[in-house]
Structure 1
Amino acid sequence: MAKIVFGMAVPHSGMLGQKPEDWLNNAERDFKNPELWFRNRTWTYPELEAHRGKAFEQYLTIEERTARAKRCRAALDEMAAAYRRAKVDVAIILGKDQQEIFPHFSPSIAIYSGEEVHNGPPQRSVYAPDHHVVHKAHPKLASYLLETFQARGFDLTDLFAWPENVWMERQMKQKADYPVVPHAYSFVYHQIMGDEPPPHVPVLMNLFYPPTQPSMARCIEFGDVLRDAIEAWPEDVRVAVIASGGLSHFVNDEEFDQDILKKLASYDYEGLSAIPNGWFQSGTSEIKIYGTVMKALQHTGAEMTLVDYVPCWRTAAGTGEGMGFMYWDPER
C-alpha cells in the first residue's frame, strides 16, 4: 500500500530569484495597486502607509535585504535536502493558477490527469532551467484521485491537457512552443526537486479569485480525503504531499504569519478554519493549502519542522512577502 512519508510547504515568490539589490524594484507595482489585501479588506498604498506608517523602512537597507536573501537561500537548500532524504517515489503537488493558463474561468479545484508536464523558457530562471524539459505526471493516480474525491462529495475539474500559458505572452512578450506549467509548480520542480520530479499529480486550487475559492475548512477536508485515498492506493510507493505558496503577501503581516505557524505546528484545524476568509485573499490565500498538507500528514505523527521564517520587505509601509519554509517528516 502507498505510504505518505513527507510533507512540505514552501513559498514560490519571484523575490527568491532576485538579487537583493533588485527587491525594491517591485515597489512600483505596490504603489499603483488599488487593492492591496491586508486584514480582511483592501487598501491603496497611501491608505496602507497612513495606517502602518513607515514602520518597515528600517528593513529596506541593502544590508538587511542581503541578510534576508541569504537566509532564504539557506532555507531553500535545506528544504531541497529534506526532500531528497525522504526518498520519494510519487508526489502530490498543490498549487494554483494565477490566470496563467485559466484567464477566462476559474475552476475551484482541478486535478491534472495528463501524461506530461512542460517547463523551461520563457519561464523566469528562478522557476525553470534554461532549456525545455518534460516531466512525467501520473495519470493513473490522478484518475484514481478524481474518482475518489467525486465519491466523497467533491465536484472537481479533470484537466487532461495543459492550456497555453498565456501569461508568458501577455507579461513577458514571449510565447513558448509548449504549454509551460504555472509557476507554483515549476518552482517546486526547479528549486526543490532539481528538475527531476518523480511521477506526480498537480492539483490546482483556485485560491485567488472569488467566488469559486475553496475555504480553509474545505482545503483541510481535501487533505482528509487525500490521505485516505493515498493510504488506499494499492501500489507500494513513498508519497510526498507538497504545498507551493504563502505566507502573507503582497502586504506582509508578521503577526498573522506567526499565528498561522503556531496553528500549523499544533494541528489546530478549528483555529485555522475560524479565520475569516477575507484574511485569505490575494497571495495570502495560498496559506489554505498548508492546511491540506497538515491534514494529510497528521496521522503519521510527524511534527512540523520550521526551517525558517523570513519576512522580506520592499516598501516602508510593509509590502513584500512572508517566506515560511517548513516540512513534516515522519521518519525524522
Structure 2
Amino acid sequence: MAKIVFGMAVPHSGMLGQKPEEWLHNAERDFNNPELWFRNRTWTYPELEAHRGKAFEQYLTIEERTARASRCRAALDVMAAAYQRARIDVAIILGKDQKEIFPQLSPSIAIYSGKEVHNGPPQRKVYAPDHHVVHQCHPELAAYLLKAFQAQGFDMCDLEDWPENVWMEKQMKQRADYPVVPHAYSFVYHQIMGDNPPPHVPVLMNLFYPPTQPSMGRCIEFGDVLRDAIEAWPQDVRVAVIASGGLSHFVNDEEFDQDILQKLASYDYEGLSAIPDGWFQSGTSEIKIYSTVMKALQHTGAQMTLVDYVPCWRTAAGTGEGMGFMYWNPEEAKK
C-alpha cells in the first residue's frame, strides 16, 4: 500500500527571487491597491497607514531586508534538503491558479490528470530554470483520486490538458511555445525539487476568487479524503503532500501568522475553522491548504518542524509577506 511519509508547506513569493535592493519596488502596487485585505475587511493603503501608522518603517532598511532575505534563502535550502532526505516516489502538490491559466473561470477544486507539465522561460527565474523542461505527472493516480473524492461528495473538476499561461503574455509581454505551469507549482519544482520532481499530481484549489473558494473546513475535509485514498492505493510507494503558498499577504500580519503556526503545530482544526473566512482572502487564503497537509499527516504522529518564520515588509504600513517554512517527517521524529 502507498504510504504518506512527508508533508511540507512553503511560500512561493516573488520576493524570494528578488534581491533585497528590489523589495521596495512592489510598494507601488500596494499604494495603488484599493482592496488590501487585512483582518476580515479591505483597506486602501491610506486607510491602512492611518490604522497601523508607519510602525514597519524601521524594517525597510537595506540591512533589515538583506538579513531577512538571507534567512529565507537558508530556510529554502533546509526545506529542499528535508525533501531530498524523505526519498519520495510520488507527490501531491496543492496550489492554486492566480488567473494565470483560468482568466475567465474559477473551478473550486481541480485535479490535473494529464501526463506532463512544462516549466521554463518566460517564467521568472525564481520559479524556473533558464531552459524548457518537461516533468512527468501521474495520470493513473489522478484518475483514482478524482473517483475517490467524487465518492465522498466532492464535486471535482478534471483538468485534462494544461491551458496556456495567459498571464505571461499579458503581464510579462512574452509568450511561450508550451503551457507554462502557474507559479505555485513551478516554485516547488524549481526551488524544492531541483527541477527533478517525481511523478506527481497537481491539485488546484481556488483560494483567491469568490464565490467558489473552498472553506477552511472543506480544505480540512479534503485532507481527510486524500489521506484515506492514498493509504488505500495498492502501489508500494512513498508519498509527499506539499502545499505551496501562504502565510499572510499582501498585508503582513505577524500576530495572525504566529497564531496560525501554533494551530498548525497542535493540529487545532477547530481553531482554524473558527477563524472568519474574511481573514483568509487574497494571498492569505493560501493558508487553507496548509490544513490539508496537516490532516493528511496527522495519523503518522509527525510533529511540525518549523524551519523559520520570516516576516518581510515593503512599506511602512506593513504590506509584504509572511514567509513560513515548515515540514512534517514522521520518520525523522522516530530516530
Same fold (TM over 0.5): yes
Q: Residue type matched to 1:113 in 2?
A: S
Take 1:235 and 1:283, find their aligned partners in 2: how far apart are those partners?
36
How far apart are the structure 1 equivalents of 2:330 and 2:118? 31
Amino acid at match of 2:69: A
Aligned-partner SS, 1:162: coil
Give the match for residue 305 of structure 1: 305
Name the counterpart of 1:124.
124
User: CA offsets per residue over residues 61-99 of structure 1, 9 Å max, x none?
Assistant: 000000000000000000000000000000000000000
The one-character-per-residue Cα deviations of 1:103-133 (angstroms, maximum 9, x if unpaired) are 0000000000000000000000000000000
Match of 2:213 in 1: 213
- What does the per-residue CA deviation read over 1:256-288, in whole Å, with 9 as the maximum and x for residues that have no partner? 000000000000000000000000000000000
1:253 matched residue in structure 2: 253
Q: What SS class does the counterpart of residue 331 from structure 1 fall into?
A: helix
Paired residues for 1:252-331 under 5 Å: 252-331=252-331
Write the letter of the residue equivalent to 1:245: G
Q: Which residue of 2 aligns with 1:71?
A: 71
For residue 104 of structure 1, give the secondary structure of its aligned residue in structure 2: coil
Letter in 1 for 2:99: Q
Which residue identity is paired with 1:71?
R
TM-score by length of 1: 1.00
Aligned to 1:187: 187
CA distance in 2, matches of 1:117, 1:108: 21
State how 1:77-96 maps to structure 2 within 5 Å: 77-96=77-96
What corresponds to 2:237 in structure 1? Answer: 237
Report Cα offsets for 1:298-321 as digits up to 9, x if no partner. Answer: 000000000000000000000000
SS of 2:49 mapped into structure 1 = helix
Map 1:159-198 → 2, pairs under 5 A: 159-198=159-198
Map of 1:137 onto structure 2 = 137
Partner of 2:150: 150
Q: Aligned residue for 2:33? A: 33
**Residue aligning to 1:9:** 9
**Residue 324 of structure 1: how far off its partner (Å):** 0.1
Distance in 2 between the 1:156 and 1:275 partners? 25
Amino acid at match of 1:133: V
Where 1:27 maps in the other structure, the secondary structure is helix
Number of the residue aligned with 2:105? 105
Partner of 1:48: 48
- Match of 2:34, SS? coil
TM norm structure 2: 0.99
2: CA distance, partners of 1:112 / 1:260 = 29
Separation of aligned partners in 2, 1:197 and 1:68: 28
CA shift for structure 1 position 291: 0.2
Deviation of 1:139 after TM superposition, in Å, equals 0.2
1:130-184 CA distances to partner (integer Å, 9 max, x unpaired)? 0000000000000000000000000000000001000000000000000000000
**What SS does the aligned partner of 2:110 have?**
strand
CA-to-aligned-CA distance 1:179-226 (integer Å, 9 cap, x gap)? 000000000000000000000000000000000000000000000000
2 CA distance for matches of 1:274 and 1:114? 36
In 1, Cα distance between the equivalents of 2:271 and 2:113?
33
Percent of residue pairs bearing the same amino acid type: 89
Structure 2 residues not aligned, in runs of 5+: none
Question: 2:244 and 2:11 mapped to 1: Cα distance?
Answer: 6
The amino acid of 2:236's aligned partner reads D
Residue 37 of structure 1: how far off its partner (Å): 0.2
- For residues 220 and 99 of structure 1, the distance between their equivalents in structure 2, rounded to whole angstroms, comes to 24
Deviation at 1:297, TM superposition (A): 0.2
- Tell me the equivalent position of 2:204: 204
What is the DSSP-based 3-state SS (H/G/I as helix, E as strand, rest coil) of the residue aligned with 2:185? helix
Give distance in 1, aligned partners of 2:160 and 2:82: 31
- Partners of 1:172 and 1:142 in 2: CA distance: 31
RMSD: 0.2
Letter in 2 for 1:162: W
- Deviations 1:20-45 (CA, angstroms, capped at 9, x unpaired): 00000000000000000000000000
Unmatched 5+ residue regions in structure 1?
Answer: none
Give the letter for the 2:72 counterpart. C
Within 2, Cα distance between the matches of 1:120 and 1:316?
A: 35
